[in-house]
Structure 1
Amino acid sequence: MAARQHPEAVRVPAPGGPRAGGDPRLTDAVLAVAMTLAIAVVIAADFGGRGSSGPVAYAFAVGFGVLVAIRRRVPRTMLVLTVLGVFAYYALGLPVIGTALPAVAALYSAAELGLTAWAVGSGTVLVAVSAYFRVEEGQPLTYLYGYELVTNVALVAASIALGVVVRLTRAAREQAERVRLLTAAEQAQAADRRLEAERVRVARDLHDVLGHHLAVVSLHGNVAAEALGRDDVAARAALAQVGDATSAALRELRATVKVLRGAVPADAPRGATSLTGLDALARTARAAGLDVVLDVHVPPDALDGAIDAAAYRIVQESLTNVLRHASARRATVSAHVVDGRLVVRVADDGVGTAGRADGPEPGPGHGQGVAGMRERATLLDGRLEARDAPEGGFVVEAELPARLTT
């Protein structure tokens, strides 16, 4: 069976952690080269007609590209230096390259890295200063407000919006991944809890099966030992009962193993592990010398399978405790459905807990068997009481729902 990863080993990525899509340094280097080439092409084209292209202008192009390369490490510094670089570029009277083009990468990067306020503030300053100096230069207001200002505002807004969208998309993807991993961890924990519950259930079943049949074997073994050599017929009968008990135990163990292996379909007949098997259980106890009286009136299909099986196990464990501890001659088993609840009662005429030779601990009301019965009832939203009867003997009374609630 393949080992399942423990839920605690599931690692949830932290926000802002490593991102898929390649080495970010290579991406920044490509963007830096692209920015440098784009500005250099605009400088060479000299759309403003200044004719002042030279090494200084191209040095600015390289500088703007270098700033793009450091955008992840120092985004605020990159943004401020870019805005100041644009102002310095135009202060030197270099060829027109626009105000938004050099700042596009800086504004996008700041917004992408969560510095939206810085990006908006820097973009506003850049557009406002550019518009002011355009007016000072005597540029027609119709051109300024009808084309250039609108274009610059649109580029600045688009750059910031794109950065915000990319950041939010990445955050949503990281959140979805964290949710997926947490869900997987929760499912793994739930599977572990179901597995542990199944182990406990199987342990209870094995305890009940082996405890009952071994008690029968022990009693008949003692009878055979005492009768050997004096009453061979009684010895052979006792040994036959030992064989029957061991065969029954092996059958139930095989059935349990089949359940563990998944070999039994969910809709398989309930078989002996239900109230319909109480007759066989009573015969086994009677053969061990206990007079068992059955008062069972449960309509067919009145109980869910889990309730039926739990009721059978409670009766089985109760009779086992009677055989082991009670020194009883008679036991009465009753089961009735009243107002949608199954009431099961097992009473004996034995010594109870106080009358045992070895004291009340661990009497039939204090051992692991009773604890297991009480746990069965509690898990099924029922209750179980085990106590000495006022008239003598011991009583186990369980109340279970006839149907499981969803």
Structure 2
Amino acid sequence: MKRVYFDHSATTQVNREVAELMLEYMTEKYGNPSSVHSFGREARKAVEEARERIAALFNAKPNEIIFTSGGTEADNLALKGVALANRKKGNHIITTGIEHHAIMHTCEYLEKQGFTVTYLPVDENAMIRMEDLKNAITDKTILISIMFANNEVGTIQPIKEIGQLAREKGIYFHTDAVQAVGSHPIDVEELNIDLLSLAGHKFHASKGIGALYVRRGVKLEEIQHGGAHERNMRAGTENVPGIVGLGKAAELAKRDLDKKIAYIKGLRDKLIAGVMEKIPHVKLNGHPESRLPGNANFSFLYIEGESLLLNLDMKGIAASSGSACTSGSLDPSHVLLAMGLTHEVAHGSLRVTLGQDNTEEEVDYFLEVIPEIVERLRSMSPLYGSAAEFKPSNPCSACHHHH
């Protein structure tokens, strides 16, 4: 059977060059970077070269990169680190209602520690309004944390405007760029970003490695204690194979970025056009223009996303409904609810995310298979044929964040 991978927002295949380099640092060059002998020095040099490659990907300086175990740890370090180091200045944090759970749950934790958090609403395209952000700022605000691009619906936020506003107000700006790094050009200088989170496994490095960019001069407190690794910001022997792999993946991402974006976007646009043309009662979620190149997120009326996924899987196609981190729970996506979709409509959502290795043939195969699956599932649905419409519910009643 054909196997088609359309779930690149969940994870990506490790590039072969990356894997080979990692293997070398597991089997031959296996020194501890903190050791003074030649084995240690060899590992240290490789770690610092990787740091340079990652910094080059978004115009940072190498000494502004802290290696972490992934995006979740980077988000935790950014939010808790800034909150703890700056609480004499203020205790207010601004974020959005559509962040990844690594941000959401960290904010909820900080609220229990006496910080106040404002969760900005979004419009029907999952975009924040700059007006809302301006109005949310108080003299106690120490941090604005807004994702670069949404992991479910692909919407890219007005990062440059946010960065400019934060800079004018003297407030730190963190962005969870886990979905954007390697899929979208980023320049931290131009965008006025103070902290940025990334995860290797979203752009063809391995799982379990990530990084936090921290602009020089940002006051940050470490949250993991031990040795003096990563300039005292993150204790623990460095994951050398992961780090060198991440550096290689960053180098490859930078090299072909524009070409890769154009190619993936072409495939995605073909897929969206095909779905909209072949299937009635379907809605495209997320911003029509300002979105990640590989992201297509649909709501199919009258059916459950879950049964859609299982049926696609039987045809060898891997997709998802919402983010991989929440697929185990039956709650509809907090992102779709924040955008004003009703529970029923949110439940019928399908996220298709394309990558550089996908082909036009795979898109054709998907477009051949999906109409019959939708038709079959709808014919079994008691709702189909009744007059349900896309009526947005009051976004606040659907959303569990009453802030």
- Shorter-chain TM-score bucket reads under 0.3
Higher relative contact order (CA 8 A, sep 6+): 2
User: Highest Rg: 1 or 2?
Assistant: 1
> Structure 2 length normalisation: TM-score?
0.21
- Greater helix fraction, Structure 1 or Structure 2: 1
> Structure 1 length normalisation: TM-score?
0.21
